[in-house]
């Protein structure tokens, strides 16, 4: 099957309604439990018979948020059931062949963390626009290698050049396909493939690029670029395949939190969960710090810094997991609108941020979603972040309960109230950002937290150079250098000698990388 859930990710027919009821019976066991979870006493929605429960179809007004959330869970599980049914047949016929299906990056309707254990290898489709910055493609690569605990993945689909489904479809400029392919390798891929081999003569994708174009021969730029990449991958295979990335920083991502936080009747329709994750990933990528994306209940033992934007939903055990991480000496950062609800989207009573209150050392009296023309400032009067920074989107009335205010709001009725706090908890520290800070502030904050957590960049390199490392089973390190700029750059190397895996030359002290070019070095 191809791209489960793409184009049509939900169905509301009678068969799905019957299957949804069975799914709910397995989850809640009784109608009483379902009624409590969904809060059906509100608006007189109490259910007395399973047959009365329906999908969240079109209704006169807002659907029950618990019902909507569970239906999103059910639809992801239903697609997974379809995959598992097909996979069982294949395993019976070809038990020796690994089974996969192509994911679509951060595709909201399908919980890829729930799917990952059922795939032998993760595979992904990647179709970024030409204007997408390097960090925005890298975060998807990091998500893919994180889904199965760092196991290498496969880039199943990318376009050799242009696509055919945007409003305008320019070609990838010379070198971009190669750099993006190497970026996947740099972040944990073991294989690079294309859609498609031969360009169709007819049909909906006849103008989608292919390795073999409508000309039908090898005498063109697109074919030659693909052939060059293929030759290089063959050359790299023995030294790269099976090696793994290694990160000391994790960003927490939870598909169920994503679904819940973007329920239409939320406090602000400007809250976009994946965009917030990207906002905090971007400065880490700019520092050339390796990042894993993990579920909130993952084992955090091997990490020094954990970032958890918009952790609105706390499923069972998550708060305790974060407490144990910080107690052991970890650095945690979370943000506004966190710790608000449980796994059923029921508000945690007793004050925000619920189960995170002790860990963060704060009490949020109220939150204030801003309109687009509302802004404020964060004032930091001492320390490495000294300065005044604009902030947008959200404000909160925060009271300190053991935490210390690093920055305060400049204006409005919470002027001089905490906007950025830190709380010593055990051997570690927990940070809280009560608003949407500027990119400048977040870049400085990420740099500071990395320093406090003793997390260093892979290497210090010029702006626009991306560097990662993969560690082989024998402990030797493979360095990937990607030049995303339009000019050559010189990169200083660590002490020691290196072998270029692309030309076989020995390299030491420094290396020059041409514009939109790559280098792959094996430490000797």
The answer to whether 66 and 53 have CB atoms below 8 angstroms apart is: no
CA distance 5 to 236: 34
The answer to whether 209 and 162 have CB atoms below 8 angstroms apart is: yes
The answer to whether 231 and 273 have CB atoms below 8 angstroms apart is: no
Q: Of the listed 51, 96, 136, 157, which one is catalytic?
A: 157
Q: Has 157 been annotated as catalytic?
A: yes
Give CA separation, 429 vs 61, 287, 306, 434, 456, in Å.
44, 21, 11, 16, 18
Phi-psi region of 476 (alpha: psi -120 to 50; beta: other; left: phi over 0): beta
Q: How many CB atoms lie within 10 A of CB 462?
A: 13
Tokens of residue 104, six digits: 């679509």
CA distance 208 to 89: 32
The answer to whether 80 and 114 have CB atoms below 8 angstroms apart is: yes
Q: Has 396 been annotated as catalytic?
A: no
The answer to whether 452 and 331 have CB atoms below 8 angstroms apart is: yes
CA distance 209 to 162: 5
- H-type alpha helices, 417-510: 439-452
CA distance 352 to 396: 11
The answer to whether 153 and 124 have CB atoms below 8 angstroms apart is: yes
Q: Of the listed 3, 86, 262, 355, which one is catalytic?
A: 3
Bridge partners, residue 479, by sequence: 469, 521
CA distance 375 to 394: 9
* Nearest alpha-carbon partner for 190 in 472, 493, 436, 524: 472
Tokens of residue 112, six digits: 């890829």
- H-type alpha helices, 169-220: 176-186
Give one DSSP letter per residue of 94-112, joined into a string. Answer: -TTS----EE-SS-TTS-H
- Active site residues per annotation: 3, 157
């Amino acid at each position: 099957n191809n791209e489960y859930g793409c184009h049509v990710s939900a169905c509301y027919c009678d068969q799905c309604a019957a299957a949804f009821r069975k799914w709910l019976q397995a989850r809640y066991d009784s109608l009483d439990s379902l009624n409590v979870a969904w809060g059906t006493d509100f608006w007189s929605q109490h259910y007395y018979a399973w047959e009365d429960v329906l999908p969240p179809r079109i209704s006169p007004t807002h659907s029950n948020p618990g019902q909507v959330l569970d239906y999103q869970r059910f639809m992801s599980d239903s697609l997974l059931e379809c995959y598992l049914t097909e996979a069982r047949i294949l395993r019976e016929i070809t038990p020796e062949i690994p089974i996969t299906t192509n994911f679509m990056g951060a595709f909201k309707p399908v919980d890829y963390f729930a799917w990952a254990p059922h795939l032998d290898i993760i595979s992904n489709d990647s179709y970024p626009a030409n204007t997408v910055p390097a960090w925005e493609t890298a975060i998807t690569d990091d998500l893919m290698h994180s889904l199965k605990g760092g196991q290498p993945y496969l880039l199943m689909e990318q376009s050799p050049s242009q696509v055919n489904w945007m409003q305008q479809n320019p070609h990838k400029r010379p070198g971009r396909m190669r750099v993006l392919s190497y970026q996947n390798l740099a972040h944990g891929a073991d294989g690079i493939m294309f859609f498609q081999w031969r360009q169709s003569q007819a049909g909906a994708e006849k103008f989608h690029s292919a390795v073999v174009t409508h000309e039908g021969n090898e005498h063109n730029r697109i074919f030659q670029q693909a052939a060059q990449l293929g030759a290089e991958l063959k050359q790299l295979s023995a030294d790269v395949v099976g090696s793994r990335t290694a990160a000391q920083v994790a960003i927490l991502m939870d598909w169920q939190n994503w679904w819940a936080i973007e329920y239409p009747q939320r406090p602000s329709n400007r809250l976009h969960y994946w965009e917030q994750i990207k906002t905090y990933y971007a400065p880490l990528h700019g520092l050339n710090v390796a990042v894993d994306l993990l579920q909130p209940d993952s084992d955090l033992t091997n990490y020094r810094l954990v970032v958890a934007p918009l952790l609105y939903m706390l499923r069972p055990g998550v708060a305790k997991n974060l407490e144990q991480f910080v107690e052991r000496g970890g650095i945690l950062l979370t943000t506004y609108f966190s710790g608000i609800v449980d796994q059923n989207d029921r508000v945690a009573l007793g004050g925000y941020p619920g189960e995170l209150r002790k860990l963060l050392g704060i009490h949020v009296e109220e939150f204030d979603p801003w309109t687009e023309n509302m802004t404020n400032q964060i004032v930091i009067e001492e320390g490495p972040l000294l300065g005044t920074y604009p902030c947008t989107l959200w404000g909160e009335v925060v009271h300190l309960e053991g935490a210390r205010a690093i920055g305060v709001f400049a204006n409005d009725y919470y002027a001089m109230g905490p906007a950025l706090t830190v709380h010593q908890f055990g051997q570690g520290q927990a940070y809280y950002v009560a608003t949407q800070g500027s990119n400048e502030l977040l870049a400085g904050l990420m740099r500071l937290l990395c320093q406090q957590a003793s997390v260093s960049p892979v290497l210090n390199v010029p702006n626009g150079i991306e560097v990662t490392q993969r560690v082989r089973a024998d402990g030797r390190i493979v360095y990937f250098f990607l030049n995303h700029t339009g000019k050559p750059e010189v990169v200083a190397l660590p002490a020691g000698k290196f072998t270029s895996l692309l030309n076989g030359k020995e390299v030491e002290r420094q290396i020059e990388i041409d514009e939109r070019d790559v280098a792959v070095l094996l430490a000797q």
